[in-house]
Chain A
């Protein structure tokens, strides 16, 4: 169910997509935060002659998508849900680089929600397209809804 907490999301939910321009700060701040010093991410002074956003910054795209679709829990502006989630799996395929200055569209859905060994998981499937329609990133993400186990579900 959209428009609630992240823990209200259900298998089959399709997110309302978001669209935005990739800025230099998005690339540099993300790269700087994880000590990625490669010039690709910090300027156009590289073989591609354009500044690139790190592939792994798709994690931030997921956060933006959730903020736009889980209105009771907008983390970017300080919102909180009932439990803190734990990221379990990241799987990002770069089809083409995401460049600073690109306008991108992020879309996705909840592919599954399930229990395993006492913990509940969400499986996200997310795509990042250029505004001209080209697929740039294909992303799958698995997250635990809470750290504490439910022993009845083990």
Chain B
């Protein structure tokens, strides 16, 4: 069940983490199909046409070495980590900004992390959180920041 618990107990320097996941070809494919099914919105499931995320020849024709993951997969893994920890505070009033600074290639293991950078006081206190996804050897691929209201218990 998604958390609705108080988040006032977090402090600068506290860390967050999500599960390490293999960016498999199948996971890249899932997002392609899910995105287009959602966008079409007719109730039909879509099998997406070839993209740089699902077809090596298409990716190479566009100047890439092979398929790369859509940046929104890692963004969603970060978003999922925030939903787990902050629940309604994030869903109903949070902000997530991410940049895709390095491609994620097939079969790289990706770890999802965050760290509380600041707690901003005010009428509505806010956690400022550095978030990122990195490879198993520490190369950052997706970096960004989240701002999430502090919920009282």
Contact pattern, A 81-116, Cβ under 8 Å of B = 1, otherwise 0: 001101111111111110000000000000000000
Q: Does A133 contact B (CB under 8 A)?
A: no
How long is the Cα–Cα vector from A49 to B54 in the complex, in angstroms?
37
> Which chain B residue shows the least CB distance to A89?
B99
A46 CB to nearest chain B CB (Å) = 6
- Which residues of the other chain, B, contact A90 by a CB distance below 8 angstroms? 71-72, 75, 96-98, 144
Q: Please judge, given known A-B contacts A88-B100, A148-B62, whether A33 and B79 are in contact too, CB under 8 Å.
A: no
B46 CB to nearest chain A CB (Å) = 8
Q: Is the CB of B95 within 8 A of A91?
A: yes
Q: Is the CB of B41 within 8 A of A20?
A: yes
How long is the Cα–Cα vector from A60 to B34 in the complex, in angstroms?
9
Q: Is the CB of A94 within 8 A of B62?
A: no
Q: Is the CB of A34 within 8 A of B97?
A: no
Contact pattern, A 10-31, Cβ under 8 Å of B = 1, otherwise 0: 0000000000100101100110
Stretch at the interface among A1-9, A35-43, A123-131: A35-43
Q: Is the CB of A30 within 8 A of B88?
A: no
Which applies to chain A's interface (DSSP): helix, strand, loop or mixed? Answer: mixed
Q: Is the CB of A57 within 8 A of B91?
A: no
> Which chain A residue shows the least CB distance to B99?
A89
Total interface residues in chain A, CB < 8 Å: 50
Q: Does A32 contact B (CB under 8 A)?
A: yes
> Which chain A residue shows the least CB distance to B52?
A84
Q: Is the CB of B35 within 8 A of A59?
A: yes
How long is the Cα–Cα vector from A42 to B127 in the complex, in angstroms?
27
B residues in contact (CB < 8 Å) with A: 1-2, 4, 21, 27, 30-31, 33-41, 43, 45-46, 49, 51-52, 58, 62-64, 70-73, 75-77, 79-80, 83-84, 88, 90-100, 144
A residues in contact (CB < 8 Å) with B: 20, 23, 25-26, 29-30, 32-36, 38-40, 46-48, 52, 54-57, 59-61, 63-64, 67, 75-76, 78, 80, 83-84, 86-97, 142, 146-148
